[in-house]
Amino acid sequence: MQGKELFKSVFGLEAEDLFTAAGRINVIGEHVDYCGGKVFPAALNLRCNVYGRKTGANVIRIALKGIDGIKEIEIDKLDSYKELEYANYQAGVAYYLQQQGTPIVGCDLFYECTVPFGSGLSSSAAIEVATAVALSEYAGVKYDKVNLARISQRAENEYVGVNCGIMDQFASAMGKKDHAVLLDCSTLDYEYVPLDLGDYALVVANCNKPHNLVESKYNVRRQEVETALNIIKTVKDVKCLAELSPKDFNEVKHLLAGAVCKRAEHVVMECERVNMAVKALKAGDIVELGRLLNESHYSLRDLYEVTGKELDALSSFARKETDCLGSRMIGAGFGGCTISIVKKSAVEGFIRHVDKAYYDAIGYRASFYETSIEDGITVTKL
């Protein structure tokens, strides 16, 4: 059964609206969004679809495809669902919308999420953003998409407790078909760049490593770069690490020790790579783009230390294929997905080879997704 029918079987009446938000990839610019850097994500056809109906009751009822039962969130107690399994994301979004003066209205929401959970493709951002659209529409308050992304990020930071940057929610809300979004995370200025790879395609692969403490490891990385910034601030007038050029960084590097130094070096060099990658893409130089993707992965492996043997294996088997120009992990890391730039005519063989090599090395299979680049938020009357 599809979402619309499932809505009816769970809630008894027909859904009236469909709100969707996207999962995302990130071409390059990893672990720099919370350092004020530029990122280069794109919204996917893998999405969070929310079928909705306004009820006017004092409660938001939530059901999720594949999970039995309905979660009820009372509108006058929105701050008390932080521990609620899976519906805490929705409650957090509702709570911060309400804090901003939005008169949250009771509704039934059915979630059909085609972004695989824990895949590094931002299923949580897609859930938050789709919820933010649904609840603000039902409240009759028009937010622009950037504000919906900000509210969603706030829910994840302060309600769910993951100190993420703005990249995922922004891409989920603001993505544009066949384009990547070059987003400056310190100003939220952005530019759409056609993601035209000519004879090449982006292949998304999930290493399927079981989810394990990603959130806490992520929060530790954030603290480490914060420490680096605070030390650098004692000698340089900067607001964020992304402001440092590689040359600036070399002048202050001696002040930083061990892991803190490596983390900061990754951020500075990754910001540099984003600029180079966008230039290469605009010039149609896909070979150079592929090289930069590889460099990004090596830096995430050696300096930021967020890859792990599964992502390293998956991307290194990809790189061994002659028709692959580059491959890297995307998202928070410690598991999740890679993207690889592969000649269109060779994609089938690429998947077959990498799948086998990965299985032989790791002992379980990777998943390969058919993806396309699509718009962010959509709203449809049913």
Catalytically active residues, by annotation: 168
Residue among 3 and 165 whose Cβ is closer to ligand GLA: 165
Q: How far is the CB of 169 from ligand GLA (least distance, A)?
A: 8
Q: Which residues pair with 58 in a beta bridge?
A: none
Segment lying near ligand GLA (by CB under 6 A), choices 93-101, 111-119, 160-168, 239-247: 160-168
DSSP type of residue 210: P
Q: How far is the CB of 332 from ligand GLA (least distance, A)?
A: 4
Segment lying near ligand GLA (by CB under 6 A), choices 30-38, 73-81, 132-140, 241-249: 30-38
- Does 224 help bind ligand GLA (rule: CB under 6 A)? no
- Does 33 help bind ligand GLA (rule: CB under 6 A)? yes
Q: How far is the CB of 254 from ligand GLA (least distance, A)?
A: 27
- Does 336 help bind ligand GLA (rule: CB under 6 A)? no
DSSP type of residue 57: S
| Residue 281: closest CA among 208, 178, 132 | 178
Q: Burial level of 9, CB count in 10 A (0-12/13-18/19+)?
A: exposed
- Does 31 help bind ligand GLA (rule: CB under 6 A)? yes
The answer to whether 127 touches 186, Cβ cutoff 8 Å, is no
Angstrom distance (rounded) from CA 269 to CA 284: 22
Angstrom distance (rounded) from CA 359 to CA 155: 37
Q: How far is the CB of 25 from ligand GLA (least distance, A)?
A: 11
Q: How far is the CB of 207 from ligand GLA (least distance, A)?
A: 15
Those residues with Cβ within 8 angstroms of residue 1's Cβ, 6 or more apart along the chain or in another chain: 9
Classify each residue of 274-304 as buried b or exposed e, where b means 16 or more C-beta atoms within 10 Å of its C-beta: bebbbebbeeeebebbbbbbbbbbebbbebb
Q: How far is the CB of 159 from ligand GLA (least distance, A)?
A: 14
Angstrom distance (rounded) from CA 109 to CA 71: 10
Q: Which residues pair with 200 in a beta bridge?
A: 343
What are the structure tokens assigned to 79, written together? 């701050």
Exactly one of 52, 175, 326, 331 binds ligand GLA (CB under 6 A); that residue is 331
Exactly one of 7, 11, 34, 89 binds ligand GLA (CB under 6 A); that residue is 34
- Does 165 help bind ligand GLA (rule: CB under 6 A)? yes
Residue among 31 and 301 whose Cβ is closer to ligand GLA: 31
Sort strands 324-329 and 337-343 into parallel, antiparallel or unpaired.
antiparallel
Tell me the CA end-to-end span of the chain in Å, nearest whole number: 17
Exactly one of 148, 167, 201, 232 binds ligand GLA (CB under 6 A); that residue is 167
| Residue 63: closest CA among 54, 72, 55 | 72
Segment lying near ligand GLA (by CB under 6 A), choices 12-20, 26-34, 99-107, 226-234: 26-34
- Does 332 help bind ligand GLA (rule: CB under 6 A)? yes
Q: How far is the CB of 153 from ligand GLA (least distance, A)?
A: 8
Dihedral of the alpha carbons of 375, 104, 128, 178, in degrees to the nearest 10: 0
Residue among 8 and 262 whose Cβ is closer to ligand GLA: 262
Residue among 63 and 93 whose Cβ is closer to ligand GLA: 93
Residue among 33 and 295 whose Cβ is closer to ligand GLA: 33
Residues binding ligand GLA: what is the number (CB under 6 A)? 11
Residue among 92 and 331 whose Cβ is closer to ligand GLA: 331
Angstrom distance (rounded) from CA 338 to CA 121: 10
Residue among 305 and 323 whose Cβ is closer to ligand GLA: 305
Segment lying near ligand GLA (by CB under 6 A), choices 28-36, 80-88, 281-289, 291-299: 28-36
- Does 168 help bind ligand GLA (rule: CB under 6 A)? yes
Angstrom distance (rounded) from CA 189 to CA 253: 29
Q: Applying CB under 6 A, which residues contact ligand GLA?
A: 30-31, 33-34, 122, 164-165, 167-168, 331-332
